[in-house]
Amino acid sequence: MAASEQPTAAMKRRHKAQYVPGQQAKRPRGGGGPRQLELGMQGILITCNMNERKCVGEAYSLLNEYGDLLYGPEKFTDQDGRLSGSEEEEDDVEAALKKEVDQIRTSTEQKLRRFQSVESGANNVVFIRTLGVEPEKLVHHILKDLHTTKKKKTRVILRMLPISGTCKAFVEDMKKYSETFFEPWFKAPNKGTFQIVYKARNNSHMSREEVIKELAGIVGSLNPENKVDLNNPQYTIVVEIIKNVCCLSVVKDYVLFRKYNLQEVVKSNKEELVQQNLLSASQEEKLKEIKLAEEDSKEVKPEDKGQSEEESKPNESDSQQA
């Protein structure tokens, strides 16, 4: 009798261990939405220097600071505390599971934050999904402020690129998507000068030349007055491909804001002068090298003259002998 009761007790223990009400830590794709870069997302693509965890922290701090300025404080109500506080132990596992599912479903909207980090699919690249935010407007505002104040607010973040559209990373899909995506900037009567910057990560089937050619052709078809300008264009079309996802955006002041590099845009005039001095110093070194080369050539010339004189003497003796 005791032997028959032991397996039953063990089965109950195993059964209870399979599900614990309120335990949500093992649900990576819970109420917070998708956890990796997917089609249809908008957000901000951030490159960093070997420290993605710190990059995410810096990104949250910076984006929340300027997001509150542009859109007001985020209204977020997390129901987890109230829901978990009212939970009571239930003997019926099925009822407990149903209650947990209902809690997850009702709290999904509250868990969709304004900024949420997702897996980008590439090393040293962070993608922050945005909700209720215009990525181009927000990032341009950040860079404009940093460029004006020259105040450095990040250490590991390098570039911060807004992404307002995503599609499959295949030429035909990109062409079809960009025909409507480019309209707000390039469809007549709108027009402007532009350039295309392209970067592919963990993708080997795309051709840089083909993508640029096709997208430039679409911009031209929207308005023939759209012209390419590689020096100082009004608009820069950013094409970032990660695996099979193509991220697109159209940004302003790409050259002025140092390719949207947060480390470069805050450099002061003094630092720029230092860089210019370094360039001038390198030019001076080149001039010194040229002068040394000229001096070496001058030292060689007298020898050449001596050799020419020695060569001429036998000729004179030969003429005398003749």
The CATH code of the domain that includes 240 is 3.30.2300.10
CA 137 – CA 134 distance, rounded (Å): 5
Name the average pLDDT for the chain. 81
Strand 227-228 to strand 193-201: parallel, antiparallel, or no bridges (unpaired)? Answer: parallel
Mean pLDDT of 3-23: 51
Residue 289 counted as domain residue: no
In a domain, 107, yes or no: no
- Mean of pLDDT values over 103-113: 61
Is position 181 within any domain? yes
Q: Looking at residue 20, what is its pLDDT? A: 46
What is the number of domains present in the chain? 1
Query: What is the domain range of residue 253?
Result: 35-76+113-270
Q: Residue 281 domain-assigned?
A: no
Q: What does each C-alpha distance from 240 to 211, 243, 293 come to in angstroms?
A: 11, 10, 47
Residue written as tokens 């804001």? 257
Torsion region of 21: left, alpha or beta (phi above 0 gives left; psi -120 to 50 gives alpha) = beta
Is residue 163 domain-resident? yes
CA atoms within 13 A on the CB side of 77: 6
Q: Measured between alpha carbons, how far is 186 from 316 in angstroms, rounded to an integer?
A: 82
What's phi and psi for 32, nearest 5 deg? -80, 0
Domain for residue 3, yes or no? Answer: no
pLDDT over 70 at 86, yes or no: no
pTM here is 0.68
Contact 290, 283 (CB under 8 A): no
**55 in any annotated domain:** yes
- Domain assignment present for 295: no
Paired tokens of 246: 């193509």
